[in-house]
Amino acid sequence: METSVYQHLQRCINDFKQLPKVTTETTIFSIGSRGYYENPTTDILAFFCDPSGEHKLGALVLSALLESLSLPELKTQLSNAPAREVVTQTNSRIDLLLESDDWVMVIENKIYHEQNNPFDSYEAYVQQGIFRDKTPIFVVLSPTGDLPDGYPQWQGLSYPTFIEKLKAKLAEHFISQPLSKWTVLLRDFLLHLENILMDSKHLQANTDFILNNYQELKDIAQLKSQVFIQLEADIKQHLAATFEQPIHSKPIKTWNKDNDAIRFALSQWLECDANNESDIVLFMDSQNASGMAINLYLYFTADEQKDIVLKALEQHPYRYLGVEADSYMCFTFNTISSADLDHLKSEVEDKLKLLQELDTLLRQ
């Protein structure tokens, strides 16, 4: 592969490393499979928007909402409890309706979905019904605060703007009022909303990266496959010449969280005992400095053989992983110090010789 192509792929890898990594704090609202959906989020918002609600926070959330909309002059009192899923004359459903003595607010909550609601129906509901003597306020609450096209009466309110105003209000409340479970839950709810916005932001960044580098990513995946095919062939050829017998090898693509790995074994083991599938595995390991490590699997038939093996390995730098499939002692070796091909061949050869010695010790 030409140097310029390598440089192009390296640039793609560097861009990938620069993608933002998300570490979010788990909240009570993010536990479960549906905690981020719009309906439960709007339910919680409606609960805290009620100044007379059980939360005893008064108009804290409602005043933050009005100030976010540049409507601080409106009274922070409601004549009725916040209403959810209000059905209009055309059977459309308003997400959240807030009603005061002199104003009525329609809120469409859009966390992920596009703004394709029947806004005409919402407007008609509050302008022609029992609310027609009150000042109508139409709000789309969304991550970006974008407005629906062709509806000049509607206001766009972004979640970041609302969250910032609400966090300031909540901070003041923490200082002046005793701590309660509702202030803790409201703080957790704000954190949950911030997590949703962060997820959306990073999803867009990741999408842009994949689509803008799609061909390069395909080239990298193809190159990776070619490298492991050639690596298996080169090491297998080296081992066959060293041990002067056929070598069994097998590539594995789902090893330890989908890392690549290659198994190597001497043919003589299966020839002597059809149950003996002892082998070593060269695999990718991010915990090792070189990025690679080796596992050794030794077939045994009696428990007393385990002590014999552990005694024989006293002078070797291994970590015992226990018994797998009831018949194989498993050891791992983090002795690979570089990805140099000659070094890899030497390491695999050494571990296969060690496995051969141990197998001979048990079968003699």
pLDDT of 47 over the 60 cut: yes
User: Comparing 313 with 195, which gets the higher pLDDT?
Assistant: 313
Summarize the confidence of residues 204-232 as an average pLDDT.
Answer: 84
Q: Is the same domain home to 189 and 244?
A: no
Q: Is the same domain home to 81 and 202?
A: yes
Q: Is the same domain home to 269 and 198?
A: no
Query: How many angstroms separate the CA atoms of 289 and 200, rounded?
Result: 34
Q: Is the same domain home to 306 and 163?
A: no
Indicate the pLDDT class of residue 103, thresholds 50, 70 and 90: very high
Query: How many angstroms separate the CA atoms of 191 and 197, rounded?
Result: 10
Q: Is the same domain home to 102 and 186?
A: yes
The answer to whether residue 279 sits within a structural domain is yes
Determine what percent of the chain is predicted with pLDDT higher than 90.
Answer: 28
- Give the CATH number, domain containing residue 312: 3.30.1460
| Domain tally, the chain | 2
The answer to whether residue 350 sits within a structural domain is yes
Q: Which pLDDT value is given to residue 25?
A: 58
pLDDT of 194 over the 80 cut: no
105 forms bridges with which residues in the sheet? 98, 137
The answer to whether residue 201 sits within a structural domain is yes
Q: Which pLDDT value is given to residue 252?
A: 84
Q: Is the same domain home to 341 and 231?
A: yes
Instruction: Let me know: does 301 contact 293? Beta carbons within 8 Å.
Output: no
Summarize the confidence of residues 165-182 as an average pLDDT.
Answer: 82
User: Which strands, in side-by-side order, build the sheet including 103-109?
Assistant: 83-87, 93-99, 103-109, 135-142, 154-158
Q: Which pLDDT value is given to residue 265?
A: 95
Q: Is the same domain home to 139 and 268?
A: no
SS (H, E, C) the chain: CCHHHHHHHHHHHHHHHCCCCCCCCCCCCCCCCCCCCHHHHHHHHHHHHCCCCCCCCCCHHHHHHHHHCCCCCCCCCCCCCCEEEEECCCCCEEEEEEECCCEEEEEEECCCCCCCCCHHHHHHHHHHCCCCCCEEEEEEEECCCCCCCCCCCEEEEEHHHHHHHHHHHHHHHHHHCCCCHHHHHHHHHHHHHHHHHHHHHHHHHHHHHHHHCHHHHHHHHHHHHHHHHHHHHHHHHHHHHHHCCCEEEEEEEEECCCEEEEEEEEHHHHHHCCCCCCEEEEEECCCCCCCEEEEEEEECCCCHHHHHHHHHCCCCCCEEEEEECCCEEEEEECCCCCCCHHHHHHHHHHHHHHHHHHHHHHHC
Q: Is the same domain home to 192 and 228?
A: no
Q: Is the same domain home to 101 and 34?
A: yes
The answer to whether residue 153 sits within a structural domain is yes
The answer to whether residue 49 sits within a structural domain is yes
Q: Is the same domain home to 246 and 333?
A: yes
Summarize the confidence of residues 162-179 as an average pLDDT.
Answer: 83
Summarize the confidence of residues 287-303 as an average pLDDT.
Answer: 90
- HSE, side-chain direction, 13 A CA sphere, residue 157: 26
- Choose the final residue of a domain: 210, 236, 271: 210
Question: Which of the residue ranges 71-75, 280-284, 348-352 would you say has the lowest mean pLDDT?
Answer: 71-75
The answer to whether residue 2 sits within a structural domain is no
Supply the mean pLDDT for the chain: 84
- Choose the final residue of a domain: 185, 210, 235: 210
Q: Which pLDDT value is given to residue 159?
A: 85
Q: Is the same domain home to 182 and 263?
A: no
Q: Which pLDDT value is given to residue 29?
A: 55
What tens digit of pLDDT does each residue of 12-22 get? 777 767 666 65
The answer to whether residue 148 sits within a structural domain is yes
The answer to whether residue 4 sits within a structural domain is no
pLDDT of 115 over the 60 cut: no
Q: Is the same domain home to 261 and 313?
A: yes
Q: Which pLDDT value is given to residue 30?
A: 54
pLDDT of 122 over the 80 cut: yes
Residues of the domain holding 321: 219-363
Q: Which pLDDT value is given to residue 31?
A: 44
- Choose the final residue of a domain: 166, 181, 210: 210
Q: Which pLDDT value is given to residue 4?
A: 67
